[in-house]
Amino acid sequence: MPVQEMVEGRVSQAHTTGTTHFIMPGAATGAVATEGRTSGLVRASMTAANLLLRVITNAATTDSTHTSRKALGAGAMSSTVTALTTGVFQDTVNTDSLTTGQEFNSQLVTGATGSVTTTQSGLTLSNTGANTNRILQSGDGAAGAMGLIAGSFAGLGGVDVLTTKAETEVYITFRANTTMSNIRGFTVGGGTSAVTLKSRINLADGAQTITQASGTQGAFEDVTNTDSVVTGNEVAVTFLVDIEATRNFMSWQQIGTGAHCRMINLAGTTEAVSADLYENPSGILIGTTTESQVQMTARSTFVARDLFANVITHGTSSGVDVFIRVGGANSGVTFNVAQSTTGLFEDNTNTQNFVATNLYNYFLDHGGGGGSMTLVSLAMTHVPEVLGGGGGGSGGGPGQGNPPPGRGRGGQPPAPPPPPTRQAPRFRAPRFRGWGRH
């Protein structure tokens, strides 16, 4: 049964005393008190399981409760965050059955007298169909977080503030043939002009488009059109809207991507890498020097591959190595961003197997030199079928699976697998796009 890992990752999110906050699975939604701004939607029957919350500080003197939500009501999954206790809190017993068209998210009710700080929440989605669409989500959910600027572009997954970035700074490379469908957005504020949400493939409009009429707000979705995506396509979305104060943000957008191409990514914001940083598997692109805050617990068996980064400026003196980490160690899925280079970087040769309870995240190895590098996105493809090779048990030791077929970003045959150490990293050279900082 295919299983998708949904991760909502932040470096630090405070939930104040006695509040009720709703969390969007798969994106970085922050502290949102209005549920509609954080609800995902399924377009096939699925089972939600393994509801998880990571707490790094807890001053609440009474217990807090993290529960699943479906169809804007209480779900079956729940975990109690004991007063003054930190760590990972997870329901591994109960599940929620989701039917086509149902919304889902989670809810955190904070205990009295003291706040709770979280860095991750998540759940898994599973289905029995081989081609059931998966959901990628983007947005912060909070008012004003995604200011609608005419002709602006957004990435898929994580969070996007919808500034005037160029499309080449936010798109993500897909590494599977798939069908995208059900592009969907949620606006707040109404307004005197319409807003249009479109899919984008290879710097051109895709087939999906949906317009929300002036004076309206809330969810809107294209349930008719689809896009056929082939491996190597660059995918993003765009918004067409008049600039006006009364309709100034999009809470979120999502799109189905087919069963095979499961992108777990960080997109939209920029990250200045001037020291070694650890990053969440998905959510908002803000790193930390404390790895334990961003390590996600795998809740299924899957393969990670196609490690990807979009670098827009680079002034480090020694280059940066990028890794998928497993159990606190570098895996063999890696590439090097050489000194002064920018563009799209990818390792589509190496793979890493994961089993339930493995810890995983990204690592940006700055190399100890001076200077900084600016990232817009990190991503990996998440595949539920084990392709063979390394991995390991719950200890999570680094391993290397069989390389997938295909060619690298520069059009050359795949290079031999790189070693998991940084002394002599090998990398897939980027295809420079001819653009710089915008």
Task: Choose one of 209, 226, 256: the last residue of a domain.
Answer: 256
Q: Check residues 409 and 259 and name the one with the higher pLDDT.
A: 259
Specify the range with the lowest mean pLDDT, choosing from 51-55, 172-176, 260-264. Answer: 260-264
Residues 175 and 249 in one domain: yes
What's the pLDDT score for residue 369?
A: 82
Residues 31 and 121 in one domain: yes
Residue 415 sits in a domain whose CATH number is 2.60.120
Q: Check residues 88 and 266 and name the one with the higher pLDDT.
A: 88
Residues 222 and 289 in one domain: no
Does pLDDT of 363 surpass 90? yes
What's the pLDDT score for residue 423?
A: 38
Q: Give the three-state DSSP class for 237.
A: strand
Q: Check residues 196 and 207 and name the one with the higher pLDDT.
A: 207
Q: Which residues contact 51 (CB under 8 A, 6 or more apart)?
A: 66, 67, 68, 77, 78, 79, 90, 91, 106, 121, 122, 123
What's the pLDDT score for residue 252?
A: 53
Q: Between the ranges 150-159, 349-358, 387-396, where is the mean pLDDT highest?
A: 349-358
Cα separations (Å) of 437 from 151, 164, 267? Answer: 18, 11, 16
Residue 264 belongs to a domain: no
Q: Which residues contact 240 (CB under 8 A, 6 or more apart)?
A: 150, 151, 195, 196, 198
Residue 315 belongs to a domain: yes
Residue 147 sits in a domain whose CATH number is 2.60.120.40
Q: What is the DSSP pairing of strand 64-70 with strand 373-383?
A: unpaired
Residue pLDDT, tens place only, 14-50: 888 889 998 877 666 666 887 877 788 888 888 999 9
What's the pLDDT score for residue 365?
A: 97
Does pLDDT of 154 surpass 90? no
Q: Check residues 328 and 376 and name the one with the higher pLDDT.
A: 328
Q: How many domains are there within the chain? A: 3
Residue pLDDT, tens place only, 42-86: 888 889 999 999 999 999 999 999 999 999 999 999 999 999 999
What's the pLDDT score for residue 255?
A: 66
Residues 169 and 246 in one domain: yes
Q: Which residue(s) pair with 136 in the sheet?
A: 255
Residues 189 and 173 in one domain: yes
What's the pLDDT score for residue 132?
A: 58
Residue 386 belongs to a domain: yes
Specify the range with the lowest mean pLDDT, choosing from 11-15, 111-115, 243-247. Answer: 243-247
Does pLDDT of 94 surpass 90? yes
Pick the closest to residue 50 from 84, 4, 14 (CA basis): 4
Residue 196 belongs to a domain: yes
Residues 275 and 251 in one domain: no
Q: Give the three-state DSSP class for 35.
A: helix
Does pLDDT of 235 surpass 90? no
Specify the range with the lowest mean pLDDT, choosing from 105-109, 187-191, 303-307. Answer: 187-191
Residues 234 and 310 in one domain: no
Cα separations (Å) of 249 from 182, 191, 268? Answer: 20, 11, 15
> pLDDT band at residue 9, thresholds of 50, 70 and 90?
low
Residue 437 belongs to a domain: yes
Residue pLDDT, tens place only, 295-336: 988 888 888 999 999 999 999 999 999 999 999 999 999 999
Does pLDDT of 191 surpass 80? no
Residue pLDDT, tens place only, 113-135: 899 999 888 888 887 655 455 66
Could you tell me if 79 and 66 are in contact, meaning their C-beta atoms sit under 8 angstroms apart? yes
Residues 125 and 51 in one domain: yes
Residue 173 belongs to a domain: yes
Task: Determine the structural domain holding residue 246 and report its residue range.
Answer: 137-256
What's the pLDDT score for residue 393?
A: 33
Residue 262 belongs to a domain: no
Residues 174 and 190 in one domain: yes
Task: Choose one of 233, 256, 279: the last residue of a domain.
Answer: 256
Q: Check residues 292 and 382 and name the one with the higher pLDDT.
A: 292
Residues 125 and 197 in one domain: no
Could you tell me if 390 and 400 are in contact, meaning their C-beta atoms sit under 8 angstroms apart? yes
Does pLDDT of 422 surpass 70? no
What's the pLDDT score for residue 256?
A: 65
The answer to whether the Cα torsion of 261, 342, 373, 167 is positive or negative is: negative
Residues 287 and 404 in one domain: yes
Residue 310 belongs to a domain: yes
Residues 148 and 173 in one domain: yes
Task: Choose one of 129, 146, 161: the last residue of a domain.
Answer: 129
What's the pLDDT score for residue 431?
A: 42
Q: Between the ranges 213-217, 232-236, 322-326, where is the mean pLDDT highest?
A: 322-326
